[in-house]
Amino acid sequence: MEPAQCDQHSVTNAQIADTFDQIADLLEFEGANPFRIRAYRNGSRVVRDLTESAATIIADPNRDLTQLEGIGKDLAEKVATLVRTGGLPMLTELLERVPESVLALLRIPHLGPKKAAALFHQLHIQTLDQLRAACEAGEVQRLKGFGAKSEQDILKGIPQAAQAADRLYWAQADEIAAELLAHMKTCPEIHQIQMAGSYRRGRETVHDLDVLVDATHVAAVMDHLGAFSGVREVIVRGETKMAVRLQRGFQIDLRVVPAESFGAALQHFTGSKAHNIVLRGMAKDRGLKINEYGVFRGRKRIAGRTEEEVYAALDLPWFPPELRENREEFNWAAKGKLPALIELTDIRGDLHMHTTETDGKNTLEEMVAAARQRGLKYIAITDHSKRVTMANGLDAKRLRKQWKAIDRLNQQVQGIRVLKGIELDILEDGRLDLPDDVLAEADWVVCSIHYGQNQPREKITERLLGAIEHPNTSAIAHPTGRLINRRQPYDVDLEAVMRAAAKHKKLLELNANPMRLDLDDVACAAAKAHGVYVVLGTDAHSAHDLDKMRYGILQARRGGLTKADVANTRTWPQMKKLIGR
């Protein structure tokens, strides 16, 4: 595969950031200096988070990218090269030494770049399929530093790595979707355009983007898609369908449909497959036929222009796309109790964030200012406790010092309440990481597991139950510990955790970080069924991360949660009454 190229007239921040991430992955595989790797990852984050185009900044003679924290002279020059030429010689050189396909090996849990490099250099493994064959033949365990157990662990991790290579986080797909829609809407022949598929349903990972268009001239629309920045190749182009692949390997499928079928096509291609199977059955029971062209009685189309029209033809309400998974939506509709799903504007507070006191990028004052700017009425500062040494976790002395600073800040700042909080580690033996007298002084204590995640199910569950039963605990953060596409949830009896949370009036977090989204959608629905309130937190490590709340909202909606089911839609005094502290 050729290195990612960018149209110099329409280069996006996301394309620049993707290039830096690719370089960091390749450098990591080669065992380069960790500080150098981190520089590219930080540079990627800074560019991706910019609120204006990096190309615009470069074009302004009075501005300089090096004024941005995390962008030094070298990275600034590389951004300029990308904007000017569409490529980077450094990336080309790296890809000559390391085929891009081997980066999939790095996605196998616990494999690491050194062992991945050993597989590449000693067994000439470049793909996951080659690695699977080598493991099944017993070749991997014979390498120095591996062994039979390592070989079996690799085999178990290959499906997860394959999925990671095949699917993007919803947040990443959203960046592409926003760029694509902005581009397509400049085509004057387009009358209507909508995204469909798993992206529209808000699934946490997305395989490709489905785009529906109602347009006057099909060829003009397809030409316009072909001119989208980042298109590497046209896979297929027919009379009404077109598929392209982007430089990053992601696929976009375009369908052009007539106005009278637009709603039916949008419903059909949004899915899910299971949801649509039920619809077809209901249509058949009524002597109707439903497909992407409309709802038909015999040969007569009776609906299809809008989704509302399609559902009404089957005596159904319009379903929010996030609910269309054939779980409870049809039962709710039959009872006339389709939930009014939570909205981003319902959130009043964010109760999980970090500052420069541990591993955050912004100071206490900067995080408070950013929260106020976003209209939040209260936040909890939850830096790590001392067990998380890699994040410079807080001991009792440093924590109390921070809390005094929060007390002073509350006297100075109007319109927002800053809560004295802590993200408290649940230690491997079940104890909490700070003394009870310290925790009693906190407004908000969110407990989490960062170490000992491979312990047996009974031990993990016991640790979480102990934290829930502790009188000073407010909530459990990212309750299953998963990292999407990177780490499986730890083995835990989540039913027992939810029963205990309901009994002791403790909250369970839905962590809005798009790499976590933990609880997942099914667990959110289960929490609601157990009478447990969910609390949404961004786990922000920078001011910009506060905007990740919308990813958590999307997951909550997929779980069928309403404003009433989420604790931090309430005022802080109202919310305190929900918690058994």
pLDDT of 22-48, one tens digit each?
Answer: 898 888 888 888 889 989 988 888 887
Cβ atoms within 10 Å, residue 34:
10
Please list, in sequence order, all residues whose beta carbon lies within 8 angstroms of the beta carbon of residue 198, skipping any fewer than 6 positions away: 205, 206, 207, 271, 272
Cβ atoms within 10 Å, residue 378:
20
Q: Residue 378's Cα: distance from chain center in Å? A: 24
At residue 7 the predicted structure's pLDDT band, cuts being 50, 70 and 90, is very low
The pLDDT of residue 10 is: 57
Q: What is the pTM of this model?
A: 0.81
State the Cα–Cα distance between residues 249 and 228, nearest whole angstrom. 14
Query: Could you tell me which of 397, 529, 423 has the C-alpha nearest to residue 475?
Result: 423
State the Cα–Cα distance between residues 253 and 200, nearest whole angstrom. 14
User: Can you tell me the mean pLDDT for 363-388?
Assistant: 97
Q: Tens digit of pLDDT for each residue in 157-195?
A: 888 777 666 788 999 999 999 999 999 999 999 999 999
Q: Tens digit of pLDDT for each residue in 134-144?
A: 999 999 999 98
Do 46 and 70 meet the contact criterion of CB atoms below 8 Å apart? yes
pLDDT > 70 fraction of the chain, expressed in percent and rounded: 97
Packing angle of the helix pair 13-29, 170-184 (nearest 10 deg):
140
Q: Tens digit of pLDDT for each residue in 315-355?
A: 999 999 999 999 999 999 999 999 999 999 999 999 999 99
What number of H helices and E strands is found in the chain? 23, 17
User: Can you tell me the mean pLDDT for 101-118?
Assistant: 81
Do 539 and 511 meet the contact criterion of CB atoms below 8 Å apart? yes
Residue 9 pLDDT exceeds 50: no
Q: Is the Cα torsion angle 311, 314, 315, 321 positive or negative in sign?
A: negative
Residue 513 pLDDT exceeds 90: yes
State the Cα–Cα distance between residues 249 and 251, nearest whole angstrom. 6
State the Cα–Cα distance between residues 319 and 303, nearest whole angstrom. 16
Q: 255: helix, coil or strand?
A: strand
Tokens linked to 162: 């394959």
* Mean pLDDT rounded to a whole number for the chain: 92
**Terminal CA-CA length for the chain:** 56
The pLDDT of residue 184 is: 96
At residue 52 the predicted structure's pLDDT band, cuts being 50, 70 and 90, is confident
Q: 144: helix, coil or strand?
A: coil
Looking up tokens 């005596």, which residue turns up? 315
Tokens linked to 116: 């991945």
Do 219 and 189 meet the contact criterion of CB atoms below 8 Å apart? no
More confident residue, 450 or 31: 450
Longest dimension (CA), the chain: 77
Alpha helix ranges (H) inside 98-147: 112-123, 128-136
With residue 55 as reference, give the H or E element that holds it: helix 54-59
With residue 173 as reference, give the H or E element that holds it: helix 170-184
Residue 369 pLDDT exceeds 90: yes
Lowest mean pLDDT among 83-97, 303-317, 391-405: 83-97
Do 481 and 518 meet the contact criterion of CB atoms below 8 Å apart? yes
Architecture (CATH level 2) of domain 344-576: Alpha-Beta Barrel (3.20)
State the Cα–Cα distance between residues 36 and 14, nearest whole angstrom. 20
Q: Tens digit of pLDDT for each residue in 516-536?
A: 999 999 999 999 999 999 999
Cis peptide upstream of residue 254 (ω within 30 degrees of 0)? no
The pLDDT of residue 478 is: 97
User: Can you tell me the mean pLDDT for 445-465?
Assistant: 95
The pLDDT of residue 354 is: 97
The pLDDT of residue 3 is: 43
At residue 439 the predicted structure's pLDDT band, cuts being 50, 70 and 90, is very high
Domain extents in the chain: 13-166, 169-256, 274-334, 344-576
The pLDDT of residue 167 is: 82
The pLDDT of residue 165 is: 64
- For domain 169-256, the CATH class is alpha beta
Query: Could you tell me which of 458, 461, 463, 469 has the C-alpha nearest to residue 501?
Result: 469
Do 197 and 206 meet the contact criterion of CB atoms below 8 Å apart? yes
Query: Whats the size of the chain, residue-wise?
Result: 581
State the Cα–Cα distance between residues 31 and 558, nearest whole angstrom. 40
Please list, in sequence order, all residues whose beta carbon lies within 8 angstroms of the beta carbon of residue 574, skipping any fewer than 6 positions away: none
Query: Could you tell me which of 178, 179, 171, 111 has the C-alpha nearest to residue 145?
Result: 111
Angle at 367 between CA 362 and CA 371, to 5 degrees: 150
Q: Tens digit of pLDDT for each residue in 479-498?
A: 999 998 878 899 999 999 99
Q: What is the 8-class DSSP label of residue 489? A: P
Q: Would 13-166 and 344-576 be classified into the same CATH topology?
A: no
Q: Tens digit of pLDDT for each residue in 223-260?
A: 999 999 889 899 999 999 999 998 777 899 999 999 99
HEC letters along 490-528? CCCCHHHHHHHHHHHCCEEEEECCCCCCECCHHHHHHHH
Residue 117 pLDDT exceeds 50: yes
Which superfamily does 13-166 belong to?
A: DNA polymerase beta, N-terminal domain-like (1.10.150.110)
CATH topology of domain 274-334: Beta Polymerase; domain 3 (3.30.210)
Packing angle of the helix pair 148-166, 128-136 (nearest 10 deg):
160
Q: Tens digit of pLDDT for each residue in 553-569?
A: 999 999 999 999 999 99
